[in-house]
Amino acid sequence: MKRRAFAFLLTVMLLCSLAVAASSGEHTTTVLFTHDLHSHFLPQSDGQGGESGGYARLKTALDRERRSHPEALTLDGGDFSIGSLIQTLYTTQGAELRTMGALGYDAAAVGNHEFDHTGLGFAEMLNAVVDSGERTPALLMANYKPAADNPRRLDIQRAMAAYGVQDYMLLERGGVTYGIFGLMGTDSDSCAPSSGFALEDMVSAAQRCVDALEEQGAQFIICLSHAGTNEKKKLSEDEQLAGKVEGIDLIVSGHTHTTLAEPIVVNDTYIVSAGPYCENLGSITITWTESGGKTLSDYHLTPIDKSLPDAPEITAMVNRWKGLVGGSYLAPYGLTYDQVLTVSGFDLPTPASGIQAGNALGELVADSFLWAVNNLEKDAPDVPTVTVTADGVLRAPIATGEITTSMAFDVLSMGVGGDGTSGFPLVGVYLTGKELRAIAEVDASVTPLMPAAQLYMAGVDYSFNTHRMFFSRVTDIRLVQENRRTEPAPVLGGGEQANEYAYTITHTDRTYHELEDERLYRVVTGMYSAQMLGTVKDKSFGLLSLEPKMADGSPVASLETCILRDENGNEIKEWYALAAYLQSFGEEGVPSRYAKPDGRKDVSRSWNPVELVKDPNWITVVTLIVLAAAAILAFFVIRALRYAHRRRRYGKKKTM
């Protein structure tokens, strides 16, 4: 009897607490989130001996979270494409969005890499997804529209309408009306030079969406932003957004590849990021009232790694995509998805962000471009050639062990060529010796402001001091020509094996030449890096300028005319240059010279006064003159002030 009474009392108390909660408008919201997935359908090396990612594992993590939170929303912050060989199906199959549909995503933002195939490629992808008839997430993009002068504007608008791309949406879930909208950031837009889209100010677009959603009854408002956060507040676009627009409850923040162990809170807006490449699944649970109060109930990141089993239905879907890639994209190259190109006895990690230093992977890639000029390009001109790659285009490390076709592609997976297929092509332009020095200066001076601009080159050696004056940091640069010759090494001892060889020895002879300021040198790089040459003037505040030229010295009218082609007229893609170079190593594997940086980029951090001022350029000279003038002026001002002070203190001497 007492047990029944206790149970009855407990039930009454529970009902009363629920009634109080209901009357106060208290709700609990769980959001599962990702961003910057970059087509990581399959697990990839994490560069530390393990692996992460893979959509079949992600599905397992999602299912576990949904069992605990049946009413959870699943959202993505953009850049769901470009990062693996399956992206080559982007315009024809829309594999990314179709797989996200199978994973149960409710909505996603659109990132800058969704426009690597230009605005028209984005439209073709949308049409392919619509034609599939499969369930896919809503796409939200409030401040990014086809530009008025885009010649394919109507085609793109039709595709967006057919898919249902919209500024914002209302979503009913668990008795709550959610308002969700998507934004593109300023830096993100600048990273999509071929989108053909126009950007509306983030703050004004966000305020417009918040006002409309509140008017339509949204109780909890979520922004899917492809703008990002940054340790430097002036570069942290999503923190600035939260500080300027009231009414946003949660921002899922993509683009900067940030991993936040705890949410950032600005003006009662929670900002969350789970890291790139499907490394983690983020989960945030917030208890909130309709009067505006919010309490963080739970926040955690679930690593997507070997501890999670593969969901078989997603595995089957991904294997189907792999088969389509092999039959369509790779067949003309004579390669297969998992084909082993060579082996490596050491890791080749991507560059450490923000640390100015050499990087063996970057040097390997730059060397592969030079190898492609000498071995793949038809009618390559016999002129001194320098090749360049940038930190920002090196998208994946290479781990110890077998190196496959897909792994080579992962390193250089960005972009699309003039042929409409995935992968940026190599382009060859001409720069003067003075401009080549400016390229090295970009590496030395712009990298601290923009880490993705760190460069790795083949064909030149150069040195710089990080403590010298901005845009006057390069202390030496010279052209390098390498001649490698391979000699067989005989087996020691006599007998039947006296004429056999156990291995070969490679000798490298280097010759150095000073750069001539007005002479033209050929520079080969990827299309994206070549496009960024035009931004050097802005990034250097007008102090550096590069003008890509043709062989005769005339300005390049279109980079399309500078694409490197093989003997069959096909574009030479960045990734294929790397893959072919790796394949040239054969069973012997990646040479040990790539186990660490080889010193072609010498970075000094010395405070030696002689090193800081030797060989100054005009920027340093002018700065030193200004500082000297300021010091002299300060000396005379201080002297005058002291003289005036003494006169006030002692007065004028009286004469008799």
Mean pLDDT of 284-295: 92
Amino acid at 74: T
Residue 487: pLDDT band (50, 70, 90) is low
- Name which CATH class applies to 22-312: alpha beta
What percent of the chain has pLDDT above 70? Answer: 87
Contact 77, 250 (CB under 8 A): no
CA distance 408 to 394: 11
Instruction: Give per-residue burial for 405-443: e unless 16+ CB within 10 Å, then b.
Output: bbbbbbbbbbbbbeeebbbbbbbbbbbbbebbbbbbbbb
Q: The pTM is what?
A: 0.83
CA distance 23 to 5: 27
Token pair for 54: 């893979």
User: What is the distance between the terminal CA atoms of the chain, rounded to a whole angstrom?
Assistant: 120
Contact 436, 575 (CB under 8 A): no
Residue 503: pLDDT band (50, 70, 90) is very low
Domain pair 22-312 / 338-489+499-611, same fold: no
Give the H or E element holding residue 283: strand 280-289
Q: What is the DSSP letter of 326?
A: I
| Coil, helix or strand at residue 315 | helix
Q: What is the pLDDT of residues 596-611, one digit of tens each?
A: 999 999 999 999 888 8
Does residue 46 register a pLDDT over 90? no
Q: Considering just the CA atoms, what is the radius of gyration of the chain in Å?
A: 30
338-489+499-611 under CATH 3.90.780.10, yes or no: yes
Q: At what angle do helices 55-68 and 95-103 cross, to 10 degrees?
A: 30
Q: What is the pLDDT of residues 365-423, one digit of tens each?
A: 999 999 999 999 999 999 999 999 999 899 999 999 999 999 999 999 988 888 889 99
Q: What is the DSSP letter of 443?
A: I
Q: What is the DSSP letter of 304?
A: -
Give the H or E element holding residue 237: helix 237-244
Out of 25-29, 287-291, 307-311, 444-448, give the one with best mean pLDDT.
307-311
In DSSP notation, 604-617 reads E----HHHHHSS--
CA 128 to chain centre: 26
Out of 44-58, 306-320, 439-453, give the one with best mean pLDDT.
306-320
Q: What is the pLDDT of residues 3-33, one digit of tens each?
A: 454 444 444 444 444 444 444 579 999 999 9
Q: What is the pLDDT of residues 624-639, one digit of tens each?
A: 676 667 777 777 777 7
Contact 553, 463 (CB under 8 A): no
Token pair for 148: 């008025």
CA distance 177 to 455: 48
Mean pLDDT of the chain: 89
CA distance 374 to 370: 6
What percent of the chain has pLDDT above 90? Answer: 73
Mean pLDDT of 119-131: 97
Beta bridge partners of residue 16, listed in sequence order:
none
Token pair for 226: 């492809």
Beta bridge partners of residue 31, listed in sequence order:
73, 284
What are the residue ranges spanned by the domains of the chain?
22-312, 338-489+499-611, 616-646
